[in-house]
Chains A and B, each alone.
Chain A
Amino acid sequence: MEQQNIVWIIIPAKDEERHIGKVIEETKRYSEYFNNILVVDDGSSDSTTEIAKQQSVQVIRHIINLGKGAALKTGCDYAIKKGAEIIIAMDADLQHEPKEIPNFLKVLKENNADIIFGYRKLTGEMPLILKFGNFFINTMFSLLYNIQVRDSQSGYRCFTKQAYQKIRWQSFDYSMESEMIARAGKNKLKYKEIPIQTIYHDKYKGTTVFDGIRIVVKMVWWKISRSV
């Protein structure tokens, strides 16, 4: 596929020395579809930055850990300043398959959409607690924001520069993914969903049950306070 828009891949990472090299390597196999890879090291205490730099990609670093939301926002701000027109956000823990990148771009362009959400298929691999948590949060989204998404917690997403300006979130942490959807719903952005393959490498990382509860509380608060 011939790309016309300037596409940036943004990978927020925290203590991902085990996976980041492989993620970049795998992503580079699809380099014809994008212009740049940007790793945002969110205050890692390991050699995430050094490993990423060895792969000759751009790395920016938070001197302390702020959270995934802040890291992705820094990455998006930087990419847009450098001329990015389309941004693909993916996780640094090898959960997301880079082979989906062409599909994200294809669906975005074919549908003239603002934002594409990747959704994880409910396979046996997904831990039961995640399935339930996701179902609960998705239902809350439908009730509060009138936006139907299959997977509100997947971080694999693609959006345009214009969409980013409308969904630019305030959350530092994992609730950023929810805030992004809430803002997309509020601004009536055109969205599509595509199925993605997900591999669970580390069950102790990512959104916990407590994060889930906090996200739901925040969703209600955003609605009441009309901040989103």
Chain B
Amino acid sequence: MLLWLQFMGLAFGIAMIYLTVLFFKRKDFNKTDLIMWILVWLFFIFMTLYPSFLYGIMEQLSIKRTLDFINISLFAFFSVVIFYLYNVNRRNTKRLEEIVRKLALEKGEKQKL
């Protein structure tokens, strides 16, 4: 029988798959994004339903409690996500600056006094 926590995890995973498909239909995501994120959510659902799957990995890493393992994994995952987003943000800020400055300079060139 499913525990409440597992049920919530399952519902969350399904909701995220729905959102992923929705973003794909709206053309915000391409096929690669769709496949990658669906795999992430399926893995999440699988881990929720069969937590014993993790025990082998936990033993290898000498982690006793499942919650500790989840915390460590999430910390590592979000660190990567933050690093990636930081990089994307930096790149976009730089691009934006270049565009705005280029537009200003071009407009200035056309200006007559």
Would A66 and B100 count as touching, CB distance under 8 A? yes
Q: How many A-B residue pairs have CB under 8 A?
A: 42
Would B100 and A60 count as touching, CB distance under 8 A? no
Question: Would you list which residues of chain A between 60 and 74 have a CB under 8 Å from chain B?
Answer: 60-64, 66, 70, 73-74
Taking CB atoms, residues of chain B closer than 8 Å to A62 are 100-101, 103-104
Would B104 and A60 count as touching, CB distance under 8 A? yes
CB contact between B101 and one of A56, A58, A59, A74 (< 8 Å): that residue: A74
Judge whether A77 is part of the interface by a CB distance below 8 angstroms.
Answer: yes
CB contact between A77 and one of B93, B97, B105, B113 (< 8 Å): that residue: B105
Would A60 and B97 count as touching, CB distance under 8 A? no
Judge whether B108 is part of the interface by a CB distance below 8 angstroms.
Answer: yes
Taking CB atoms, residues of chain B closer than 8 Å to A70 are 97, 100-101
State A60–B107 Cα separation when bound (angstroms).
Answer: 7
Main secondary structure of the interface of B (DSSP, over half): helix
Q: Give the size category of B's interface with A.
A: 10 to 19
Would A74 and B113 count as touching, CB distance under 8 A? no
Would B97 and A172 count as touching, CB distance under 8 A? yes
State A160–B96 Cα separation when bound (angstroms).
Answer: 28
Question: Would you list which residues of chain B between 65 and 113 have a CB under 8 Å from chain A?
Answer: 93, 96-97, 100-101, 103-105, 107-108, 111, 113
Taking CB atoms, residues of chain B closer than 8 Å to A58 are 108, 111, 113
CB contact between B104 and one of A40, A56, A172 (< 8 Å): that residue: A40
Taking CB atoms, residues of chain A closer than 8 Å to B107 are 60-61
Taking CB atoms, residues of chain A closer than 8 Å to B100 are 43, 62-64, 66, 70
Q: How far is the CB of A73 from chain B (nearest CB, A)?
A: 7
Would B113 and A60 count as touching, CB distance under 8 A? no
Q: How far is the CB of A153 from chain B (nearest CB, A)?
A: 22
A residues sitting closer than 8 Å to B (CB atoms) are 40, 43, 56, 58-64, 66, 70, 73-74, 77-78, 81, 172
